[in-house]
Homo-oligomer: A and B are copies of this chain.
């Protein structure tokens, strides 16, 4: 987890607890904890999400969340340097000379793609296989994102159902006016829980996964363009220029400065 994500999480949850603490004069548990309400909202949204999703995806939720926060983004600038180097080697020593290097490449997408090139697979087939692989990764990511997304939809719904149940109960028993306030307070707790679950936990995870996904897609697009250019026997300088187009001006500057160094 990069330091900024950690700080964002700490401060967001910290602020929430500070508000609860300040509001309740320190008695957070007594004021804001109501076990049946917690069960209703947290349990209800978890079990409904379980109903709505493929079960393996649901179980993979922990992994997905971990990836959202701990997985290091892949650096397309590094990839470009690597591909240009490989293109240099291929130009000088022939494309078959890449065979040994491939086994040392940790990224399976790049390794598989280069293997096909070395095996002499024709360009159309390589492009088709890489496109299908990218599409398939795209779809798996969007499935993974659907778990926190669905939970963010059901948590506020169960919060509202809980509040309606609480209000009905309270309104049916209005004999003692002194109980109206606390009754309504408890009724509102479920709505609050639902809003917190959706907005402080689920939706930021969805947003973060979307960002990671976009980074990965960019990386894969660069890798695909690199593999195809390498197969086409592109001039390494030309290839670098083509791939650099995927980078932001800032990343491109880094790429150039490292090169000159």
Contacts and interface: CB of A to CB of B under 8 A. Distances in A.
Interface of A: 2, 4-5, 7-9, 11-12, 15-16, 18-20, 22-24, 31-32, 36, 39-40, 43-44, 47-55, 58, 73, 108, 125, 128-129, 132-133, 136, 139-140, 143, 150, 153-154, 157-158, 160-162, 164-174, 178, 180-182, 184-185, 188-189, 191-192, 195-196, 198-200, 203-204, 207-208, 211, 214-215, 218, 241-242, 245-249
A4 B50 contact: yes
B55 A208 contact: no
Given A4-B50, A23-B165, A174-B180, 12 more contacts: A5-B51, A18-B36, A19-B165, A52-B204, A53-B211, A54-B211, A132-B245, A139-B218, A157-B195, A157-B198, A170-B181, A173-B181
Contact of A44 (B16, B171, B203): B16
Nearest to A249: B108
Contacts of A211: 52-54
A9 B139 CA distance: 26
Given A48-B199, A160-B195, A40 B55 contact: no
Contacts of A196: 161
Given A11-B47, A195-B161, A168 B188 contact: yes
Contacts of A12: 43-44, 47-48, 50-51
B54 A215 contact: yes
B161 A172 contact: no
B161 A189 contact: no
B129 A242 contact: yes
Nearest to A207: B52
A17 to B, nearest CB: 11
A51 to B, nearest CB: 4
A214 B5 CA distance: 32
Contacts of A15: 39-40, 43-44, 47
A27 B132 CA distance: 57
Given A5-B51, A245-B129, A169 B39 contact: no
A254 B130 CA distance: 21
Contact of A162 (B19, B136, B203): B19
